[in-house]
Amino acid sequence: MKKLIILILIAVLYLAGCNNNANDKAGYDLRKDKTNPQFMSNRNDGRQRMGDQNPNFLNLEGTTERSEVSPNGGPDVDKARQTVAATKEFKPGSVWINGDRMWVTVYKKGILTDQERIDAEARIHRKLTRALPRYNIEVRVREDRR
């Protein structure tokens, strides 16, 4: 009796191990897995472009549109540049955003003394703070000798 039970058990294990489902060629399809999120995908659904991933990549797509969450700040950077350009005294330079900090470089014609530079930084800082109050803004005034 013991030999019969052991023989049946071995036969069941052998048949269970040799089960080959012809319909399931991949074994386990991750796309159909609803319990765990997909962190990687090769699908291009149009939501993210190469330039959106890293601000150091060049825009090779030829598009000029900016998304709301672009790496270079998008509308806030444009607003800072418009505010600087509206003064007619300064030309906008580079604008960087990192979290709640914004660094703005502006150019002013002519040679400036230290006191003139400090006064110019204070004037443009006030205007930028009114235009973009959610940022801690650092302003650097440079001489434009062109």
Tell whether 12 is covered by a domain.
no
Tell whether 130 is covered by a domain.
yes
Written as one string, the DSSP assignment of 27-48 is SS-GGG--SS---------SS-
Question: Tell me, what's the pLDDT at 88?
Answer: 87
Tell whether 64 is covered by a domain.
no
* CATH code: domain of residue 115: 3.30.70.1350
Averaged over 2-24, what is the pLDDT?
A: 75
Look-up of token digits 């150091």? 56
DSSP code for 58: -
Tell whether 28 is covered by a domain.
no
At 106, the pLDDT band (50, 70, 90 cuts) reads very high
Averaged over 91-119, what is the pLDDT?
A: 91
Q: How far apart are CA 90 and CA 87, in angstroms?
A: 6
Tell whether 40 is covered by a domain.
no
Q: What are the tens digits of pLDDT across the range 32-87?
A: 666 665 555 445 555 555 545 666 666 666 555 444 444 555 788 999 999 999 99
**Are residues 76 and 97 in contact, defined by beta-carbon separation less than 8 angstroms?**
yes
**pLDDT value at 96 more than 60:** yes
Query: What's the structural domain count of the chain?
Result: 1
Average pLDDT, the chain: 76
**What is the extent of the structural domain holding 128?**
75-144
Q: Which residues contact 139 (CB under 8 A, 6 or more apart)?
A: 104, 105, 106, 121, 124, 125, 128
Tell whether 116 is covered by a domain.
yes
